[in-house]
Structure 1
Amino acid sequence: MRHFGFVLIICVAFIEISNGAAFAQGTVDPSPERLVFPTEKGQKGFEEWVGLEKGSGPWADYYKPTPLHMYWSPKNHYIRPDLSAFKDLFDEYASGDCMGCHEDVTPGIVMSWKSSAHAKPRKSAKFAEKTRAIEETSGIKIEQVTCSFCHGESHDELFLPVADDVCKKCHRQQVEEFASEIADGRPSHRASWISNVVVPWYVEGFRRGEGYSFIGCDQCHPAMERCDGCHTRHKFSADEARRPEACYSCHMGADHPDAETYSESKMGVIYAMEGDTWAFDKGLNDLDLGGPEMRAPTCQICHMYNNTSGKWGHNVTSKGRWRMGTFPPVQVEYKSSMKDYPYGITIPPLNKKIDLYDGENKRKLERWLEVCNNCHSGRFARLWFEALDEYMFAAYRKRDEAQLLVEECFEKGWIDVNARAPYPMGDVLADKLGIKLLGEGVFKALKMSKGKIPVVGPILGVYANFRHDDGNPSQIETEYGNMWFWYALKGYKGVAHGQQDYAWWWGWAPMVNQLSRIKSQHDMLERVYNIEAKLGIGLGGK
């Protein structure tokens, strides 16, 4: 810790300089083969280095990222630090002595690395065989995977590794599996940063000087091509990534309480009681499921079993049927405008309803049943999925009832959209996206109103949980946003993971309570409007 003063100086120096001039670009010679972003458009938006002068993706010109974005999306934003404050350290340690220097400056990183298979690639017969296989397929001789392999030979070329440039050299199969999530669309790990920065409410927050408010979103939606979301730095342990806790830090909370529902389900309780004895040192394809090696499933067992191959791998979305529960199913007969979803919008994944019983989703269900049949009878497992689907259909009928009430408030003029801020980025959405992506109806509505239109319900109406700008959204819109994006999804996760308390008390019960609040708000707005009409004042008196 004797160099703590230098660390403090460099932090202060970065904060000062990051507000003005940019440092040198932090990139490495990229692999010409891009698996994670194979298209030119994707590479330009999410891999082209822009420093901190622009954002990521299609809205890059509309906001400047916070300095932490260097770590969330390093291909876009990483800037090498100014190391002039460390001159004494460079004089003390020989060039290339990364370990010696960093044992002083960042000892935790070095200790983590020393416990890793990167430091000891032949620490057991099993690891020696894996290392030999990697050497054979990659053509790389491996004694140790040291700092320079992942970060460059010197500070002059320092970079942060991503899968296509570094991890793929040794772990090609895993990167290919990860990149195969492209076929499944969003939501997915591969598209986590895309999902974060393309939504209009995110960019609107930056336009209004509130970019730091999204730090929670950024932490769970970084560019997952870094791999360290599951294999944490600098140990990069497969054993660790096979445990449910590896998923908990992101897959939790109001809209996707996976950690809460799994850990308090019978599966999670068995894991809590017995997990210390399970064979997490084994690959998922080598486990004896249901026995002493793993008596109950983990997140990884259920979600990493691949729809295409029938084996476990690094694609976690291939069996996704409900797609997080946020897209309306065709199996429900709607009375609200959800009957017209997706309103002509052609932007994936907003461009269609879900058909739970089409050929593709039927095949996915059979793959789910293959996993469940390791521990349950086929009849029980099939009935459970049937119950999940029926629960969700019923929840969507409640959402539809609520959405109809909210829409009436706008149709009758009880809420004045002209007296409040437009929909996030609504003033530029039409010109930016165009009629082909938005569809004629949405395009014309945005264009003519300059974004001052009501947007409620799945999925663009979720902005009600992220923004409040000059009276937009109103209370009834916020209540509806909480109903479908919080409580309905909590119930969904409760049923999906077999956690009864979330299915009812944190899901269905508060969801219908929200419907009561929405009905009361609807009736109050109607009464106020009618009173104002009689008095010749306010909205009713216009």
Structure 2
Amino acid sequence: MKLFATLLTIIAATSLPLSAFAAPGCIECHEKETPAAVVQWKESAHAKAGIGCEKCHGTDHDKMLRGEAKVTIKVCAPCHKKAAEDHLASRHSLALQAGWGCTRKLPSRKPGECRFCHREGDETAKIKAQCARFLKQSPEMQEIGCNYCHSVATACDSCHSKHSTSLKIVRDPNSCAKCHMGPDHPQWEMWQTSLHGTLNQSAGRSVGPDCQTCHMPRGSHNVSGGLTMNSGGVPSPAKEAEPERQKMLKICAECHAPTFGKKELERGDAVRAQSLAMLKEAERIVWELNDLGLLDPMPAQRPEHPLSGAKLVTDAQMLYEDTSHIERLFFKMKKYDYARTIKGAYHQNPAYTHWYGNAEMKMDLIDIKAEAARLKERKGTAPTLTAEEELTLLKKKFDRGVLSAEQYSAEKAKVLERVK
């Protein structure tokens, strides 16, 4: 009975003109105004299934012209339930929280931006979005330089075409490249120039895996499977990391011996730990200068950080503008070179791991130490601190979690013992 109903549907669909599946006037007008979109729709699975324009876009044309009838995941999810569920469980669904920020205090903001985080007529944010770097940009740069990638959280057409449903488009690694490239996360370049990428381009997907093979196995829309660190390279707790590691090992085992995949990933873990230790050393130097009042300029002497005010920020919300020179060096080390080192290691790319990553990190540390020495010398900082200054610095380190209670107590005792 079910098969008979399906056949009737197919027969009915093929006996009607495609324009019958669209709201009156859509096709006739858009064949003149946006002919390519109509051609793509006519060749799509949507058209073949009798899904017309109004099913996705609605019928309020004025709302469409105002840009208020976006086709978001909310529109796609009822028909594509599994894909939507996978996506919402992945890091792609967190892109708004990672990349945007509330613009209500910005004089140049566009009122329409509110809809990205707020439901219509509701002041409560549907997502928690904050990004200091986003808030520092002009509206135009926010749109093309930030939102274009981070809208993947709610916009399926970030990866899929707007009107074509061809899977060839989203199975092409180039669809990932527009966001996963550049100085801070060049995964596409790393893959393209790795042995995996070379084999893929010369011998095909059955010999060389691509982004989708490892990160979207069997068409899954959860791109986070197998990842054991956050987007900033901070390792996940063991309880969370171990199940993900097993997922990735299972994927590796489709082409490699289990021991090979395990060894490769553990080597990446070691590179990550070594690189993170180097990064923390540089961060301690920056904070020590801040504690001594030697940053030039100090946070209180420059435009306020959009989220933290007149405070030093070296976490995920650090800026590359309106900072001191040594903070700019640290930004490069953390956001570019650390990321290239560890992501290059996990993507089996020797050049990115070493020369674009590790070597740059080590030279960054040299520059940071040299700049710190210059600032101390310029300010005339004494080679040794008074006991009172040492105690103040220890207290600041304890307050921000650099020292444990036991370490703080021990270091304080040493200072007090010395001045008896």
Q: TM-score, normalised by structure 1?
A: 0.57
Name 1:201's counterpart in structure 2.
132
| Structure-to-structure mapping, 1:91-490, within 5 angstroms | 96-119=24-47, 121=48, 142=49, 144-153=50-59, 155-156=61-62, 158=64, 159-164=69-74, 166-181=75-90, 188-197=91-100, 198-202=129-133, 204-205=135-136, 210-214=138-142, 215-275=144-204, 294-305=206-217, 312-327=219-234, 329=235, 354-355=236-237, 358-415=238-295, 416-426=298-308, 451-456=309-314, 458-461=315-318, 463=319, 465=320, 467-468=321-322, 473-490=323-340
Name 1:5's counterpart in structure 2.
none
CA distance in 1, matches of 2:207, 2:30: 42
CA distance in 2, matches of 1:114, 1:384: 47
Name 1:498's counterpart in structure 2.
348
Q: Return the offset for 1:95.
A: 7.5
Residues 517 and 160 (structure 1 numbering): CA distance in 2 closer, same or farther, change over 3 Å?
A: same
Q: Return the offset for 1:153.
A: 3.2
- Check the 8 A contact 2:225/2:248 in 1, yes or no: no
More helix by share: 2
CA distance in 1, matches of 2:130, 2:328: 18
CA distance in 1, matches of 2:347, 2:59: 47
Q: Return the offset for 1:373.
A: 0.7
The one-letter code matched in structure 2 to 1:150 is C
- Check the 8 A contact 2:300/2:310 in 1, yes or no: yes
CA distance in 1, matches of 2:265, 2:27: 52
Provide the secondary structure at the position in 1 that maps to 2:208: coil
Structure 1's consecutive aligned runs of 4 or more residues displaced over 6 angstroms after TM superposition are none
CA distance in 1, matches of 2:307, 2:241: 35
Identity of aligned residues (%): 29
Deviations 1:493-541 (A, max 9, x none): 21111111111111111111111111111010011001899xxxxxxxx
Q: Return the offset for 1:365.
A: 1.0
The one-letter code matched in structure 2 to 1:218 is N
The one-letter code matched in structure 2 to 1:452 is A
Long gaps (5+) in structure 1: 1-93, 122-141, 182-187, 279-293, 306-310, 330-353, 427-450, 534-542
Provide the secondary structure at the position in 2 that maps to 1:323: coil
Q: Return the offset for 1:160.
A: 2.3
Q: Return the offset for 1:257.
A: 0.3
Long gaps (5+) in structure 2: 1-21, 101-128, 384-420
- Check the 8 A contact 2:132/2:317 in 1, yes or no: no
Q: Return the offset for 1:318.
A: 3.3
- Check the 8 A contact 2:227/2:245 in 1, yes or no: no
Q: Return the offset for 1:223.
A: 4.8
- Check the 8 A contact 1:205/1:211 in 2, yes or no: no
Residues 401 and 115 (structure 1 numbering): CA distance in 2 closer, same or farther, change over 3 Å?
A: same
Name 1:514's counterpart in structure 2.
364
Q: TM-score, normalised by structure 2?
A: 0.73
Q: Return the offset for 1:211.
A: 2.9
- Check the 8 A contact 2:289/2:372 in 1, yes or no: yes
CA distance in 1, matches of 2:278, 2:178: 31
